[in-house]
Structure 1
Amino acid sequence: MDLKLQGKTALITGSTAGIGKGIAEELLKEGAHVIVNGRSGKRVDQTVSDLTHLGKVYGIAADLSKPDGSQNLIKQAEEIAEIDILINNLAFFEVKAFEEVTDEEWEDYFQVNIMSAVRMSRHFLPKMIKRNNGRLLNIASEAGIKPVPSMIPYSMTKTSLISLSRGLAELTKGTKVTVNAVLPGPTWTEGVENFLKGAAQAENKDLESYTMDYFKENEPSSLIQRFATIEEVASTVAFLASEKASAINGTSQRVEGGIIRSI
């Protein structure tokens, strides 16, 4: 399917690894120009090097947990091109008991997972609406609907992103701009693999057997009973970023293998 993304410019926050990098790769394959972002200049440069064979890719190092870092990214991105597609992907998580999460850690979650998306959207969405064209996607999580007890701050921020997405979509009424949230479920990223390796070692199990048991014990409602691949999530994002998805607005698109039981 031709998604008609040739020549479109996409800005993806937090895209030097995992789902963000996978989205960049998918959009490049579809002919889009991509701006990747991360805090480390070294990692940004490496990502650009990894992806440059696929198409036109730029890299901007900026810490989006701070207003100055967000403004730096915005300024440099606009010097490259007009942004047609904004994908707010930046986020972090930690498995930690609720009572052990400090006020400072809660603030970090708020600044990184929520305010980075707010700052980017506040700048770029009005420009999209003014020219009557654009796509804004917030990468949330199934945890935003089905909170994880060991990851309550992360889950809360993803719920906030879902609400933010719907609210922003209301601002696009009658235009050709769309805003949607994407809700990946457990996805096999480098970070997840490292986490599972540590968990398996703690229980004296090998990674393969621990992973096989993971869904039976932790996600029994999953219908696919496996981790989603980065490519599966990225292809969904690419479709929503395209003209083919022009009638999809204000939604929370699930890519979570049926974990959330609903009709």
Structure 2
Amino acid sequence: MKIDLSGKTAVVTGSGSGIGLAIARGLAGSGASVVVNSRTQAKADEAAASIVKAVPGAKVRGVAADVSSAAGCAKLVDAVPSADILINNTGIYESKDFFDITDEDWTRYFETNVMSGVRLSRAYMKGMLQRNWGRIVFISSESAINIPTEMIQYGTTKTAQLAISRGLAELTKGTAVTVNSVLPGPTMSEGVEVFVKNLAKQNGQPEDEAAAQFIKQHRSTSLIQRFASVDEIANMVVYVSSREASATNGAALRVEGGILQTIF
């Protein structure tokens, strides 16, 4: 299957590094004109340059905007008024005891993980419907279904993304616009690499052994028994953003290595 996104403009939020950067790189490699978004222009430009290096001739630009606020979302939309593909990837997470999660924490998580996607979908989806083609993808998590006790605030926002995604998909009935969610599992992004390195140092282990032990202890139901790579997540996102995925709509697509022990 050859995915060709030539002529399509894709906006990927939180794409300065990690899964977001891998998605942006994958979309650029498929011919899309990609907008890389990060909170600072320097980070956005650095990410864009890395994509051009990996994909010679890629059409990429960096736009700085903190989409965890209404003002930041408006800034991004001002810079990019129209998009054919929107990847709502921006997200934050941290391990925190439920009784220590403040109201301010809950608001920050909701604004960043949920409202960024709501605001940007509201801004771009009408144009997609008018043009009768578009793709919106929410990057959720297996934590949306397996709510982690150490990150209840995070899991809650990821479940909310599934509800919003499915609701927006209902608005596309009879059109060539689709809205879907992708549910990654533990993924070896830059932040996780640092975590694993620290874990290995703390336990006096090689890094690959520390990573394997973490999966066995904390995600024991994983069928692949390892962290996924950022490119493995990006591959699913690029597919669901393509013309070839035209019959996939309103879906929650798993890329979590079989951690979830349910059929549906």
Report the TM-score, using the length of structure 1 for normalisation. 0.96
Report the 3-state secondary structure (helix = DSSP H, G, I; strand = E; otherwise coil) of the residue aligned with 1:44.
Answer: helix
- The residue aligned with 1:226 is 226
Report the 3-state secondary structure (helix = DSSP H, G, I; strand = E; otherwise coil) of the residue aligned with 2:87.
Answer: strand
Residue deviations 1:127-181 (CA, integer Å, cap 9, x gap): 1112211000000000001111111111110000011100000000110000000
- The residue aligned with 1:169 is 169
Q: Does 1:132 align with 2:132?
A: yes
Report the 3-state secondary structure (helix = DSSP H, G, I; strand = E; otherwise coil) of the residue aligned with 1:87.
Answer: strand
| AA partner of residue 125 (structure 1) | M
Q: Does 1:69 align with 2:72?
A: yes
> Superposed, which structure 2 residues align to 1:15-30 within 5 Å?
15-30=15-30
- The residue aligned with 1:6 is 6
Q: Which runs of 5+ in 2 are unaligned?
A: none
Q: Which runs of 5+ in 1 are unaligned?
A: none
How much does 1:40 deviate?
A: 1.3
Using the TM superposition, name which of 159-168 and 205-214 deviates more.
205-214
Distance (Å, rounded) in 1 between the aligned partners of 2:180 and 2:60? 24
- The residue aligned with 1:254 is 254
Report the 3-state secondary structure (helix = DSSP H, G, I; strand = E; otherwise coil) of the residue aligned with 2:180.
Answer: strand
- The residue aligned with 2:121 is 121
| AA partner of residue 39 (structure 1) | R
Report the 3-state secondary structure (helix = DSSP H, G, I; strand = E; otherwise coil) of the residue aligned with 1:135.
Answer: strand
Distance (Å, rounded) in 2 between the aligned partners of 1:205 and 1:98? 30
- The residue aligned with 2:190 is 190
**RMSD of aligned alpha carbons:** 1.1
> Superposed, which structure 2 residues align to 1:76-95 within 5 Å?
76-78=79-81, 82-95=82-95
Distance (Å, rounded) in 2 between the aligned partners of 1:113 and 1:181? 13
| AA partner of residue 67 (structure 2) | L
Distance (Å, rounded) in 1 between the aligned partners of 2:76 and 2:91? 16
> Superposed, which structure 2 residues align to 1:30-109 within 5 Å?
30-53=30-53, 54=55, 55-78=58-81, 82-109=82-109
Report the 3-state secondary structure (helix = DSSP H, G, I; strand = E; otherwise coil) of the residue aligned with 1:174.
Answer: coil
Using the TM superposition, name which of 27-36 and 99-108 deviates more.
99-108
Residue deviations 1:180-217 (CA, integer Å, cap 9, x gap): 00000001101111122233344444422211211221
Distance (Å, rounded) in 2 between the aligned partners of 1:85 and 1:209? 39
Using the TM superposition, name which of 15-24 and 99-108 deviates more.
99-108
The count of corresponding residues between Structure 1 and Structure 2 is 260
Residue deviations 1:76-107 (CA, integer Å, cap 9, x gap): 012xxx31100000001111111111111111
Distance (Å, rounded) in 1 between the aligned partners of 2:18 and 2:154? 17
Distance (Å, rounded) in 2 between the aligned partners of 1:179 and 1:124? 12
How much does 1:108 deviate?
A: 0.7
Q: Does 1:215 align with 2:215?
A: yes
Percent identity of paired positions between Structure 1 and Structure 2:
46
The 3 A distance-change label for structure 1 pair 167 and 143 is same
Report the 3-state secondary structure (helix = DSSP H, G, I; strand = E; otherwise coil) of the residue aligned with 1:7.
Answer: coil
Distance (Å, rounded) in 1 between the aligned partners of 2:87 and 2:261? 27
Distance (Å, rounded) in 2 between the aligned partners of 1:22 and 1:2? 18
- The residue aligned with 1:243 is 243
Report the TM-score, using the length of structure 2 for normalisation. 0.95
Distance (Å, rounded) in 1 between the aligned partners of 2:45 and 2:183? 28
Distance (Å, rounded) in 2 between the aligned partners of 1:220 and 1:51? 35
Distance (Å, rounded) in 2 between the aligned partners of 1:140 and 1:199? 25
Using the TM superposition, name which of 31-40 and 190-199 deviates more.
190-199
> Superposed, which structure 2 residues align to 1:129-168 within 5 Å?
129-168=129-168
| AA partner of residue 116 (structure 1) | S
